[in-house]
């Protein structure tokens, strides 16, 4: 299975990966400048934190081997694909209890900003052929995809 690897020392906080993730999930054509920020679907699935000392911490879903989010979801909205390894979210099954948000050990998951009824979850860009847009748009090569053993 594939995983996005991170070298935080190379990250300069440009947030190209965050913008690329937002663009990757929009349904209509356009640029980042006309992206509808009131549509939860357009929220970024990754985020970049400042470490407070001039450095940055890219926060990306690990698509864990034993995902705490899946194990804590009572409504079956989160599942792990045994072939691809991708942990997916089904908005139609979500009961908005946010147990997954509380249990993700990496602090990746969050409720959507506008309605706070949906979970913003990385889908490994599977609708784009499983080629993560964030990785393609990182100018520092601080994130990359690697094949790992499950």
Which residues of this protein are in contact with ligand SF4, per CB under 6 A?
A: 20-21, 24, 45-46, 60-64, 67-69, 87, 104, 106, 108-109, 122-125, 132-134
Q: At a CB cut-off of 8 Å and minimum separation 6, what does 54 contact?
A: none
- Beta carbons within 10 angstroms of residue 27's beta carbon: 9
**Looking at beta carbons only, is 49 or 53 nearer to ligand SF4?**
49
Nearest approach in angstroms of CB 63 to ligand SF4 is 5
**Looking at beta carbons only, is 54 or 129 nearer to ligand SF4?**
129
Nearest approach in angstroms of CB 108 to ligand SF4 is 5
Nearest approach in angstroms of CB 65 to ligand SF4 is 9
Nearest approach in angstroms of CB 80 to ligand SF4 is 7
78 vs 5: CA distance, rounded Å: 22
- Judge whether 77 and 61 are in contact, CB under 8 Å: no
- Judge whether 68 and 21 are in contact, CB under 8 Å: no
**Looking at beta carbons only, is 21 or 77 nearer to ligand SF4?**
21
- Judge whether 103 and 91 are in contact, CB under 8 Å: no
**Looking at beta carbons only, is 53 or 149 nearer to ligand SF4?**
149
Please report, for residues 109, 121, 126, 133, the alpha-carbon distance to residue 87 in angstroms, rounded to integers and kept in the order given.
12, 9, 11, 17
């Amino acid at each position: 299975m594939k995983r996005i690897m991170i070298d935080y020392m190379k990250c300069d906080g440009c947030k190209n990966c965050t913008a690329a993730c937002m663009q990757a999930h929009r349904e209509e054509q356009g640029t980042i400048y006309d992206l509808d920020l009131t549509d939860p679907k357009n929220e970024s699935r990754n985020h970049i934190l400042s470490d407070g000392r001039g450095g940055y911490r890219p926060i990306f879903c690990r698509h864990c081997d034993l995902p705490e989010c899946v194990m804590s979801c009572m409504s079956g909205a989160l599942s792990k694909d045994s072939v691809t390894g991708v942990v997916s979210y089904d908005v139609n099954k979500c009961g908005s209890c946010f147990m997954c948000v509380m249990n993700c050990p990496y602090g990746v998951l969050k409720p959507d900003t506008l309605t706070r009824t949906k979970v913003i979850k990385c889908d490994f860009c599977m609708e784009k052929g499983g080629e993560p847009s964030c990785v393609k748009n990182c100018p520092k090569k601080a994130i990359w995809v690697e094949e790992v053993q499950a």
